[in-house]
Amino acid sequence: MTQSPMSTELATGKPRKSAAILLLLTAADTTWRMFVPTLGGTIVGVSMDHFFKTVPVWTAIMVVLGVMLSALLMFLQFKSLRK
C-alpha cells in the first residue's frame, strides 16, 4: 500500500506544490477584488467630472462606491473560503 500525499507532506515538512499554487491564486483573486473596483471608480469619476465640467464630486462618489464594492467582494470571498 502507498502513503497518502498528506502523510508524505507531514513526514517531510514540505507543503505540496498544489497548496502553494492555490495560495498564489487566492492572493491574485484578492488583489483584483481590492484594486479594480477602486481604480475603476476613480477613472469613471474623473471622466464624469470632465464630461459634466464639475469639481471632483463624481470622483469622490465613485471612489467611495468603489471602496464599498471592494469591501463587499472581499467579504464574499472570505465567506466562501470558510466553507
What confidence score (pLDDT) does residue 20 get? 85
User: Is the Cβ–Cβ distance between 16 and 9 less than 8 Å?
Assistant: yes
**Better-predicted residue by pLDDT, 12 or 72:** 72
Residue 9: what pLDDT?
Answer: 55
Nearby residues of 41 by Cβ (< 8 Å), 6 or more positions away: 62, 63, 64, 65, 66, 67, 69
pLDDT for residue 41 = 97
DSSP state of 53: T
Over residues 24-72, the pLDDT tens digits come to 988 999 999 999 999 999 999 999 999 999 999 999 999 999 999 999 9
| Sole residue written with cell 497518502 | 4
Domain ranges of the chain: 5-82
Q: How far apart are CA 15 and CA 7, in angstroms?
A: 11
